[in-house]
Chains A and B, each alone.
Chain A
Amino acid sequence: MPDGPLIVQSDKTLLLEVDHPSAEQARRSIAPFAELERAPEHVHTYRLTALGLWNARAAGHDAEQVVSTLIEFSRYPVPHALLVDVAETMARYGRLQLVQDPAHGLVLRSTDRAVLAEVLKSRRTAGLVGERLDDATVAVHPSERGHLKQVLVKLGWPAEDLAGYVDGEKHPIELSPVTKPRTEHEKAAAWEMRPYQAQAVDGFWHGGSGVVVLPCGAGKTIVGAGAMAKSGTTTLILVTNTVSARQWRDELVRRTTLTEDEIGEYSGARKEIKPVTIATYQVLTTKRKGVYTHLELLDARDWGLVLYDEVHLLPAPVFRMTADLQARRRLGLTATLVREDGREDEVFSLIGPKRFDAPWKDIEAQGYIAPADCVEVRLTLPESERMTYATAEMEDKYRLAASASGKKKVVEQIVARHPDDQVLVIGQYIDQLEELAEHLGAPIITGATTTKERQRLFGAFREGEISRLVVSKVANYSVDLPEASVAIQVSGSFGSRQEEAQRLGRIMRPKADGRTAHFYAVVARDTVDQDFAAHRQRFLAEQGYAYRILDAEDLDESPADSSAL
């Protein structure tokens, strides 16, 4: 196609011109093998990675298909070296296979003896494999299946896992066609999965295991529920905190045939094991005298499905435990698969490849998440504070800038601009938040707040009894506040991109009246606060959320609604 929507660069990035008539078709065609890296307004950037290409192989695409897709949609001739590289990379997949041998159990088999020899010679595979059975086969300890797969990916010879999954204990789970009322006032309403949710569930189920990436507020819980219904087995759900665990339980009760009795909570507070058990990462990783005391949970039942909520937060010990769960189906859910520690690849190799990914703006365009307007408000520090800042030690600088006194007034101004909205004020530093709460006369939730109090306050906020809420980072994730439409971020944990995105996610549930959500980041000018903010915004900017930048002094003049701009 001489005038295709795609430009293939020799550094393995693919530039997709969004406004091109065949852009959608091109996007669908390249999605199986290319990673979406940036999705700003005009040109989206995809990248070809070895892992992505191998995942495509695992999903049944071959190099020829990839090459012809690139050539078909490319506007300019595709660099020759890249095509060769694609073919060579994809040819590396599947030379090694993990299979169940009737006599020897799990074995690693090779169609290419040299590759097997090379892999076995590596120090990294030592201890993961057992006896050499013949020229092309070597026994594998079943417990090392995950580790071995990880190591093989690092060695550049990914294994095709044909060993399959255990079926797990059967437990009937169905999606209920109508929502079960939460309170007496609420009426049962008919519902069904949105198309992209159904697509995500199918993608996952065909692949066996993997990760589904959906924006905050796009209904990841429902994808989880759909997967459980497909599986129809006992399920272990791992979540970030207790509040989130309860939200999962409520949502499952509402949307499926499961009853409260069938769902157990395994957290610091309660230790129930039921056909569907929701556990927190924290309790799993609790160590007593150097031993993980709650590991038996993983073997407590013959789980047919393990679900990881917010998989981008997966702590290192859970990574290791997950490696032992390779025989069970695994589903990871996340909105932001970016990790500042760069361990995205481990997520892919342990949980499974990315099975579904949609740019935020696409879902927004379909109306399933609220359109959001992101504004960075720049505050000029007064002379005295600038002096303090300039002379402060490096480690104190962020704290000083982030909790600048001027932010109070800015927050007040912003709150005043949104008299009718549910407003969240989010920050990092407790004393700053307490000061703000006092100033605004709003309740505050921090790590010190009890779960019960948290639930009460969130409940009141949902019901609209209170319209202002000050929260610390405890509300970063998995807190479902459908009607919150304004978030003001006064400080954050340095340059964390996913925190920014998750905070924006708090206000992205579609509103009843379809109104735009507003996200404000208040930043002190010419300080590290500004630099961190720039880094934090990168993920969202790449998802197409362009931040407007306002000077704090101009707040009064500028209208609240971006559409008027």
Chain B
Amino acid sequence: MASSLPAAPAAATRHFADDLRQRSDTALAALLRARPDLAAPSPSTLRSLAARASSRTSLERALARVDALTLQVLEAVLALEPVLRPVPEPPGPREVPELSEETARDRDAGAAPLAGPLSVDVVTWALGGAAEELPRVAAAVGLAVEQALLWDAGGQYGATLDLRTVPGLDELLGPNPAGLGPHLDPVPDGLPEAVGHALGSAPGRAETAVALDKLLAQAPPGARAILDALAWGPPVGVVPAAGSRPRDAVNWLVTAHLLVRSDARHVVLPRLVGLALRDGHTHREPRTLPPEPQGRAVHTTTADAEAASAALELVRRVRLLRQAWDDSPPSVLRAGGLGVRDLRRVATQLETDERATAFVVEVAALAGLVRDDGDAPPSYVPTVTDWDDLDDAARWARLVEAWLASRRAPWLVGSRDDKGALRAPLSPDLQRPWVPRLRTGVLGVLAGEPAGDIVVAPTPEAVVEVLTWRTPRSVPPASAVEGLLAEAEWLGVTGAGALSTPGRALVLSRRDGSDGSEAQVAPVTRASDQSGDGGPAGALRAVLPHEVDEILLQGDLTGIVPGRPSRDLARLLDRSTDVESRGAATTVRFSPASVTRALDQGETADGMLDELAHRSPVPVPQPLEYLIRDTARRHGAVRVGAASSYLRAADATVLAGLEHDPTLVGLNLVRLAPTVLAASVPAAALHEALRKRGLVSALEGTDGRVLVARKGVTGRAMPAPRSAAAIRMGTGSDVVGRAPDPEDLVAELRAVEDAARAGARARASAAEVARSAATSGGGAPLRGYRVVASVPRSAEPTREGPRPGALEPLPAADTPRLDRAVKPIPAIGAEALDEDSGTQHPADGLALLRDALRDGSTVIVEVAGHTGRLERRELKPLNLDGGRLRALDPDREAELTIAVHRIAAVLPTSPAP
């Protein structure tokens, strides 16, 4: 907590904002790239960028992405930061009241710094790392600096860094970083030096133990045990009951400043003592490397074979799905998504369970192969696409690439949401923004294993373990990891649980294709569709079983394709056989029903037999030939057609000649039987036409037996989804606005900076005028406030050098602080707001407050009062937490608490005159 940190004197401060300002353009661009949320929406100034970078939400995001080592580094720096600084000013009067006197006394003694800068060496040692781990720690530090989680207080970014954490980080990492208690004064004699040595040069490292022993020489028994118990955290202990021996030990320790009473019932181990007990380490050992994922060893050939069959199966299932939905499109649920019954039906058709079916449906929708037709009421239909014309590998590539970019979580299908409703496939409810990052993570773990003859198939638990190392602050739910691994298996990205060669190609293509940032979800690339050998499609093609173009026909009416059927053969078998067994080979059975199906689709007996004979290395067995011919003979014995009306007569002669009568040509009369003609016009029209020709006919009652033309099945096929429709389905690719290019943004920020500087000069002279106007009793002082708001940006050190002296005194002159009164500020007019684009961002204000907290300085705070009017006060912040600012009003010598949302603006004060 910020308040528990002793603050450094303001004079020694070099601010985080200054650090950002001094960073090179490249470094700033790198920062924006690493933390994209800082760039969207674009910050207006570098100060607001700094403020945003230290805001809680942005830091949470940034921390969510750091790995275990970086987190350790951050903790270590946070823990050592106050220790390695000059011992600070006393904390606020009510912080640790019992300490304040001693603090005042010891101030001088502790004023000397413990050691040199907080360098990478120090951090490495603090982490408990050996010298050979230094490069990794340095890399982690570099990364943290790039992300502006750490900065160099030395400002040089040279060989030796003096690391500081970004303001606000302490709030996120809690009051006891690395389990070390607060840094409190007074410090026991000799301990700072000992710890300083421990953190410093190697030879001094044994001294801490000696110093501790010396301190504990007179200690009552049990004192050392108490310290050891608190050494590795948590650093807070309960005070034993009065009169007991441990209580005596505790009392002794408190007197020796080795423990501090934090309240009546608790003692806390001060940070320095904790460090001394830990031999100067903040951590037991550095977690420099992710854990090795544990799992079964799988042969690459096995993984590839499994992946190939999974891929083929998926492609087949998507094809079946499209066919099934072409025949009978299921309706879209009112809330979006596919109903349970429809899902079950599809599952039966796909011969799999509902979980796998939900995934097939989802992946088909992701690839734009099915979508809702936008009708009222809407239903799901297959789209018109070239997918059908591709070969298996290219089809698979489309599916898998769509999956890779998806933000959906199909594994949630079947679970219940907060309201208790079942989550349906294709429902917008399955959208989860974090899915791509987690997927990248999971695939990354799988791809982390080097390719070779044997690959490891990590268990879901092992994957979670590695991911926990990668992002200890945001551990993915095990169910999601399991869901993603199952999906990878269904897709053939993994085979037998290990990354397959096509899967590896996919991961690689992904790495090459984008910079890996999560906000950038690449649109489905079509480059790999082509039948070239590159990319995932090519990799899959290489591991697919041989394409076989022959079928062994047998006398028991079965046929066996000893491999993967070629496309033509597959089409033939699909039409004219029932599959009995699928796998490396395909077993099919010819039956009257299957042959009838082929005949329905326009095959002929001769055509089929020719094709079979052509593809069979053995003659077509006689029973099969007989079956096909016999079925063909019977096929078409009963025929069905469509007519609109009919004409019948008892006497065939009455109807004679009507069929070819030129005047009745428009009726399309067809003779079905000697006494029956069919017509393609409605009964009434037929009736009329016959009347005109002089044939008196009677209209038969429409008792339902009048055939009605069947509604055509056209118009179902829809174009591939446009983005709007995709959004409705919740399956579209990224709809979040793209972040601006970091370099452009940095250039813009610099321009604003320069303009502000120039503008400030101009405004300063304007303010001069305004002030003279004000003192002369007239005019509007309002402008002056605006000037105040804009001054600080340039009032601080700039890259170029010392700040222009002219600017310095101006704001103070106008502040009402001088009146020692809370002076209501007149509402700022609209024109005033318009005039200056730099209205204060809340984060700016908070950043100023935090700086002030740290430095123990005062700021001017504009607060919205009960009446909605702005009040202006000069305050010394004591604590900023939970949306509340606790602050001291030095003028009134009162403490007050303000809800942060009431703070309209925070302005820096110049040092008191």
Contacts and interface: CB of A to CB of B under 8 A. Distances in A.
Do A and B make up one complex?
yes
Interface of A: 7-11, 13, 15, 17, 38, 40-43, 45, 75-77, 79-81, 526, 538, 541-542, 544-549
B43 interface: no
Contacts of B495: 80
Given A77-B305, A80-B496, A548-B622, A9 B556 contact: no
Contacts of A11: 581-583
A76 B545 contact: yes
B623 A8 contact: no
B194 to A, nearest CB: 58
Interface residues of B, number: 31
B116 interface: no
Chain B CB within 10 Å — which of A10, A11, A76, A549 has the most?
A76
A42 B545 contact: no
Interface in B58-105: none
B581 A42 contact: no
B562 interface: yes
Interface in B538-587: 545, 552, 554-558, 560, 562-563, 581-585, 587
A364 B277 CA distance: 89
A11 B351 CA distance: 13
A80 B306 contact: yes
A544 B582 CA distance: 22
A77 B302 contact: yes
A79 B312 CA distance: 14
B623 A9 contact: no
Contacts of A41: 554-555, 618, 621
Contacts of B545: 76
B301 interface: yes
B634 interface: yes
Given A80-B302, A549-B626, A9 B558 contact: no
A390 to B, nearest CB: 13
B379 interface: no
Given A541-B555, A541-B557, A7 B585 contact: yes
A40 B581 contact: no
Contact of B581 (A13, A17, A545, A548): A13
Contact of A79 (B304, B309, B623): B309
B143 interface: no
Contacts of B298: 80
A77 B301 contact: yes
Nearest to B545: A76
B553 to A, nearest CB: 8
B555 A547 contact: yes
Given A77-B304, A546-B621, 11 more contacts: A7-B585, A9-B587, A15-B562, A41-B554, A45-B581, A76-B585, A77-B305, A77-B584, A79-B584, A547-B555, A549-B626
Contact of B584 (A7, A38, A43, A541): A7
A43 B302 contact: no
A524 to B, nearest CB: 13
Contacts of B584: 7-9, 75-77, 79
- The 5 A-B pairs with the shortest beta carbon distances in the complex, nearest first, are A546-B555, A77-B305, A9-B583, A541-B556, A76-B584
Given A77-B302, A526-B634, A549-B623, A8 B555 contact: no
A548 B552 contact: no
Given A11-B581, A40-B558, A43-B554, A547 B587 contact: no
Nearest to B558: A40
Nearest to B618: A42
B352 to A, nearest CB: 13
Contacts of A526: 634
Given A17-B562, A77-B302, A542 B622 contact: no
23 contacts: A7-B583, A7-B584, A8-B584, A9-B581, A9-B582, A9-B583, A10-B309, A15-B587, A41-B555, A41-B618, A43-B554, A45-B581, A76-B584, A77-B584, A79-B305, A79-B584, A80-B302, A81-B306, A541-B555, A546-B556, A546-B622, A548-B622, A549-B626
Contact of B555 (A7, A15, A17, A544): A544
A205 B563 CA distance: 41
Contact of B560 (A15, A76, A79): A15
A40 B623 CA distance: 13
Contacts of B556: 38, 40, 538, 541-542, 546
Contacts of A77: 301-302, 304-306, 584
Nearest to A40: B554
Nearest to B303: A80
Contacts of B622: 546, 548-549
A547 B623 contact: yes
Contacts of A42: 552, 554, 560, 618
A80 B626 CA distance: 40
Contacts of A9: 581-585, 587
Nearest to A80: B496
Interface string B583-599: 11101000000000000
A79 B305 CA distance: 8
A94 B622 CA distance: 48
Nearest to A11: B581
Contacts of B621: 41, 546
Nearest to B629: A549
Contacts of B563: 76
A80 B552 CA distance: 26
Contacts of A545: 555
A43 B560 contact: yes
A329 to B, nearest CB: 36
Given A38-B558, A41-B555, A8 B587 contact: no
A40 B555 contact: yes
Given A7-B562, A42-B560, A15 B309 contact: no
Interface in B399-457: none
Contacts of B623: 541, 546-549
Contacts of A548: 622-623
Counting chain A CB atoms within 10 Å of each CB, the highest count among B298, B301, B554, B563 belongs to B554
A92 B37 CA distance: 56
A101 B417 CA distance: 58
A160 to B, nearest CB: 29
A42 B560 CA distance: 9
Interface string B823-849: 000000000000000000000000000
A389 to B, nearest CB: 15
A545 B556 CA distance: 8
Contacts of A7: 562, 583-585
Contacts of B555: 40-41, 541, 544-547
B165 to A, nearest CB: 49
Contacts of A10: 309, 582-583
Nearest to A17: B562
Contact of A75 (B552, B562, B587): B562
Contacts of A45: 581, 587
Interface in B304-337: 304-306, 309
A412 B689 CA distance: 62
B459 to A, nearest CB: 14
- Most chain B CB within 10 A, of A7, A8, A526, is at A7
Contacts of A43: 552, 554, 560, 562
